[in-house]
Structure 1
Amino acid sequence: MESGEFLKGRGAQQNTSNRFLRHVFEMREDFLEFCRLEGEEAESNRTEYITIFPKSIVNKVDSPDVGMGYSMNPYQGCEHGCVYCYARNSHEYWGYNAGLDFERRILVKKSAPELLATKIKHKKWKAQTIVLSGNTDCYQPAEQKFQLTRECLKVFFKYRHPVGLITKNSLLLRDLDILKELNKYGLIGVNISITTLSETTRRQLEPRTASIDKRLRAIEILSENNIPVNAMLAPIIPGINSHEIFSLAKAAADHGALSFGITVVRLNGAIGQIFSDWLQKTMPDRAEKVLHQIQDCHGGSLNDSRFGTRTRGEGKIAQQIHEMAQIARKRYFKDRSFPDLNTGLHQEYKDGQMKLF
């Protein structure tokens, strides 16, 4: 990528430094000019899939802000490229960076189904909802190739274990057959993320995600099959999508969602640099205004790491966001609620015939 060129199809427009590495990789201007004159690519924009071999797959979630006790991620990194994604920083633990590496170097855990089965079959494991995925999207484009999420859903069904899904990709409809079987036993809850109703904004913020129409249609199809759906209207970014709260909530309700949740954007770690750079390139006329409004929600900073406030924000703008959400719930979601999932079946199916002895 030449200096100053906007990289289409990606969210991040740069490779940030990895805070854990001693050395910094830098693309110098003279090298970029040499590549241009030679007609060569300075670097490839193709997605690379890298198999890794974790020892475990289910993670305990200690944060009180995310609404889940356990999560699992068949993939690390995410080709969706959402520029605001809090998960970008996790790529640094693997020796990559939170910018373009996060979108272009996808780590694949091919042993995920087997590791999951081992975990939930353990004699000390008590059934609690495990969420796919708490970090990166389990239905990102890699899922078309590897089908790890589908195989994990088969494991959950085999052992009658409750599972939650979080995604912004309509690819989950491919697995409607398994979702319907899980739902017969109250074992599935789906969270679909809808950040904006504007396709222009969606392509800028989340370049490789499913279109808004496809996501709304996914909510509708799941709801028609009585599969509970929660709409994640998140993150709310002041000056970009904060004016859409009512219209987003109405669209989700009209298509059958039982509830919705919101968070206020926070730009933790390297994401502050990535988002600010992206904002200056995509919306230069309002970049400073947006950044100042985000800072207003976090005590003058782009990030707040305190439990209890980091996803809610503070100040007048954050208060307005939550007041609008409260009104939207009363207006569009009256008498609707998202059900608790069934944890009562797993013990019998985990032990199988062994319980007879």
Structure 2
Amino acid sequence: MGSAKKKKEKRKDFVKTKLKVGKTKPKPTAHTELGFKAKSIGLPSQSITKSFTSSESFNHHLSLTKHSSASTRKDALLFLLNHLPTAEKIDSSVFTYIAPLISDQSASVRSTLLTLFKAIPREALAPHIHTISIYIRSGLTHLQEDVRADTAKFLNLILKSSDINIPMQLVTRSWISVLTCFGGLFHWDVQPLTAATTQPTSANSAASAKPAKAGAKNKIGGSVSLEGMKNATGHLEALFSFLKLGLSEHLSDEEKARRDLPLCNSDTAKHLLPVNTTAPYARLGLFSANKAMATEDIGARYILVAPILPDILKTLASGRLEGGEIGRICKQLTDFLVDVQTSIESVQ
């Protein structure tokens, strides 16, 4: 009896089921029912009715600036723009999130970020110029031409700030780095600048350094004309502002009055300590293991720019041939640098 039952069960596996029209196909024996019915779903850590505070909502959208979607990053920046807190509440974490977007792949994200930077109060922007400058230098050397073009807009925004202390932070702390970035854009030989960051540089050795030969490869954009260079005007405006800030003295009326006091010797003014300079002789490397030249005083910046001045002037000479806005900026910058070159030669 038992063996007959087992044989019958074995035969079931080989019996073909007859399908009938209008009848539902039977489910296989291995089928698992996945459907379920519930009147409510409990989410302990989430709620669509939860009300966020302004700071929580701001921090949430700040984290969305790292989202993989460009539209999400743009929407997050728009929220930050419309809900920008006071200057006291804008700390370094804000710039840690938004500064990397200077070289974002999306043009709309970069455009929205530029609008956000313009809306940030100057007093909140000032303490974080060094962090922003790192990503500006990265954007100036980016492989994509449109990213380099938009980065020049961020650089111009800082350099043309109404508060002189904001651009001067960029000039004094990143003089060599920014000039090196411009050298990559305009095809200069920046070897004297890179050597200054690795070797001890004295005033005599830097002043007597022979400039590199400036040939056709040193023209703006190499073989490409300025007219074909995307946002060449923006790059030249940034270069003009940067060099003018770095190679000009910015003294208040009180400081000028102190400098113009009658002195016993007419050459005394040349040897006075620079105003508002924490380490005026740091470029000599007398008391530091780091022999890289400091650029907090104007004298050090004059020394560093001297070897590459011929390259810059040849670059501007080729730019003046383009005419228009580009030619006008090149002429103004040329006139300024000729005066600088004359001052350097008179000191030597």
Class of the TM-score when normalised by the shorter of the 2 chains: under 0.3
Q: What TM-score results when the alignment is normalised by the length of structure 1?
A: 0.26
| TM-score, normalised by the number of residues in structure 2 | 0.27
- The structure showing larger relative contact order (alpha-carbon pairs under 8 Å, at least 6 residues apart) is 1
Name whichever structure is richer in helix by fraction. Answer: 2
Structure with greater strand percent: 1
